[in-house]
Chains A and B, each alone.
Chain A
Amino acid sequence: GEDVEQSLFLSVREGDSSVINCTYTDSSSTYLYWYKQEPGAGLQLLTYIFSNMDMKQDQRLTVLLNKKDKHLSLRIADTQTGDSAIYFCAESHSNYQLIWGAGTKLIIKP
């Protein structure tokens, strides 16, 4: 079946860029998403990319999609302490059902 994989942890220094990576197996994915989960809060959609795009930029966030390698990344520029959270990658192909990665915990070092 479909699978989405992410590293469990990423540690970066405050002010550096964070790059969170995700790989997926479903070549028919139509949309790929990045969600953020902060402690005690619900999941929040950060950004999404359609499968016919290879890049999307939104302020400090840059999403890169390599469809050939089925690789998705989220770059956060100038990482701040408020960016500490778990970041989930998800993909969909059936319009409503998302397949989720296990999440990457972003740890910010001062």
Chain B
Amino acid sequence: GAGVSQSPSNKVTEKGKDVELRCDPISGHTALYWYRQRLGQGLEFLIYFQGNSAPDKSGLPSDRFSAERTGESVSTLTIQRTQQEDSAVYLCASSQGLAGGHGWEQYFGPGTRLTVT
């Protein structure tokens, strides 16, 4: 079946502009995650959605970052007034969201490479 998809794959934007990144999770996956990966670094958790529960936004670095998800489908990550330090690969993952280890296996999309000039 189809995996997690993200668009665009690459985005170059000028400092100060807003950007919107999209994630299509695997159908039926109730959990969705956004991560940021700076060059040569590990994954930095941004936000987590589980079904219709309130999202865990504890990883969002500033109020310029926001994310939405409608039900258990597409999610968008919006970065307002982009700064050069926002340049990174933004990864989306989804999981079945069931209790127990294997249900929490995260399936990743290919990422969106954001470059802020």
A contact residues vs B (CB 8 Å cutoff): 4, 8, 30-31, 35, 40-45, 48, 50, 88, 90, 92, 95-98, 100-103
Contacts and interface: CB of A to CB of B under 8 A. Distances in A.
B45 A98 contact: yes
Interface of B: 3-4, 31, 33, 40-43, 45, 48, 50, 56, 91, 93, 95, 97, 99, 101-102, 104-111
A14 to B, nearest CB: 25
Contacts of A88: 42-43
Given A88-B43, A100-B42, A42 B104 contact: no
A61 to B, nearest CB: 16
Contacts of B95: 96
A90 B102 CA distance: 14
Contact of B108 (A4, A30, A44, A95): A44
Chain A: interface secondary structure? strand
**Secondary structure class of chain B's binding surface, majority of residues:** mixed
26 contacts: A4-B42, A8-B40, A30-B101, A31-B101, A31-B104, A42-B3, A42-B108, A42-B109, A43-B91, A43-B106, A43-B108, A44-B108, A45-B105, A48-B102, A48-B105, A50-B101, A88-B42, A95-B99, A95-B104, A97-B45, A97-B48, A97-B56, A98-B106, A100-B42, A102-B40, A103-B41
